[in-house]
Amino acid sequence: MTTITNSPETLRAAMVDTIKAAGHATSPAVEQAMRTVARHDFVPEATVEDAYSDIAVITKRAGDGSALSCASVPTVVAMMLDQLQVQPGNRILEIGAGTGYNAALLAQLTGPGGSVTTVDIDPEVTAGARRGLDATGNQHVEVITRDGSLGASENAPYDRIIFTVGAWDLTPAFWEQLAPGGRLVVPLRWRAQTQSVAFVRDCDALVSDSMELCGFVPMIGQEGERSGAIDGSGLVTLYWDVDQTIDAAKLGGVLDQERETVWSDVLVGPEEPFDGIWLRMTGRDSRICRVSADRAAVDTDLCKPAIPIRSPALAEENSLAYLAIRKVEQGRFELGAIGHGTHGGNLAAQLCDEIEAWNHDRNARPTVRAYPASTLRPAISFDGDLNHEVIEKVEARLVVSVA
């Protein structure tokens, strides 16, 4: 019996067709690079079918099973390359070497007149990336084993910098090493959600011009996010940033208090995203955080967030409200909020106000400006009279502005 399988070339073509159908690889150069570079050569342990499926291929795990390194989901790779807008001859820095596949794509995009440097803290990862790059004719890509937060000053300045690992903070290296007018694309985490943000350097400010929801393996050593259980069994956890005044201890047992539910009359379809509510709120409310509920918490009706593992919440002293959803008709769902505690009802109503504001322009995105933490406040732009929140990180300061 003969088994017929698709060739790598056929599977790669189908992968790119899937990426295009999802609205990515909009640049002809990005599309051509993804049709040219053989992803299966960088993940030899995976089947060729998995190599060209729209999935992350995990290449290294921690002892607890969590991913330490991977080849990212191809649609996300294409999305971020679109954001990066590489031009022929660009000097490019990549933070997070992974398998070397993304560096090979970058080399294809910048061409023989440019250069690519990729950095990773893990010597096993850089050794694997080096092998993959050498085996595919990309010996000219420089691979450095180093803490990615330091960048690679020896090849600076860079026209383009891209992170293929999640960052909570931005260190001074990226202002020092990015050329004026250069672009930086980074999966940046603030208020417990992660967006792939494309920044353009404008003097000492990095100013966003696009952002897309994403998720990435986090950088090692950036510990600015806090978390704490808010129920006795540890089934429901709150996540917030170090600059917020949230105290999980004050919220202990809040879910056992009477709940107040408020519905917004805003409807979504089963495939319609509503992450823009959370993103918008990061520029309007300093109390925004994330709630995560285990299956047991949902099944026992202790806590039922719209998306159990990650939903926006508002926390104030001993009160909490979080985003909720209910089915109201075939294929339609209503968004709302569930509140607990002394001010739970008010918080739920305020969350619904934000849902309704988002509903007026679902495609609107805030502007994010990033500055070194040492920047004096008078030098920071607050976008006139727009609503804004200043988010203090350890090495950077974000200003999130919302119309």
pLDDT digits (tens, 9 = 90+) for 9-48: 999 999 999 999 999 999 999 999 999 999 999 998 899 9
According to the model, what pLDDT value does residue 127 have?
96
Task: Give me the residue label for tokens 């353009």.
Answer: 200
The per-residue DSSP string of 264-305 comes to: EEEEE-TT---THHHHHHTTT-TTEEEEEE-HHHHHTTS---
Active site residue 69: yes
For the beta carbon of residue 323, count every other beta carbon within 10 angstroms: 26
Q: Pairing mode, if any, of strands 178-190 and 158-163? A: parallel
Using CA atoms, how far apart are residues 130 and 139, in angstroms rounded to an integer? 8
- The stretches in the chain having pLDDT less than 50 are 1-4
What CATH code would you report for 8-213?
3.40.50.150
Q: Is the pTM of this model over 0.85?
A: yes
For the beta carbon of residue 243, count every other beta carbon within 10 angstroms: 14
Across the beta sheet with 142-145, the strand order is 142-145, 115-120, 91-95, 158-163, 178-190, 193-202, 205-213, 367-372, 396-402, 387-392
Is the preceding omega at residue 157 within 30 degrees of 0, hence cis?
yes
For the beta carbon of residue 383, count every other beta carbon within 10 angstroms: 16
According to the model, what pLDDT value does residue 383 have?
64
Q: Which amino acid is at 399?
A: V
- Residues 6 or more apart whose CB falls under 8 angstroms from that of 146 comprise 119, 120, 121, 152
Cα–Cα separations (whole angstroms), residue 119 to 126, 151, 374: 8, 7, 26
Sorted by where each begins, the domain ranges of the chain are 8-213, 225-360
Q: Give alpha helix (H) positions in 65-186.
A: 74-84, 101-110, 123-135, 173-177
Q: Which amino acid is at 368?
A: V
Q: Look up residue 99 and give its two tokens.
A: 């398998």
Q: Among residues 7, 53, 66, 69, which one is catalytic?
A: 69
Task: Give me the residue label for tokens 């429901």.
Answer: 236
Using CA atoms, how far apart are residues 208 and 185, in angstroms rounded to an integer? 9
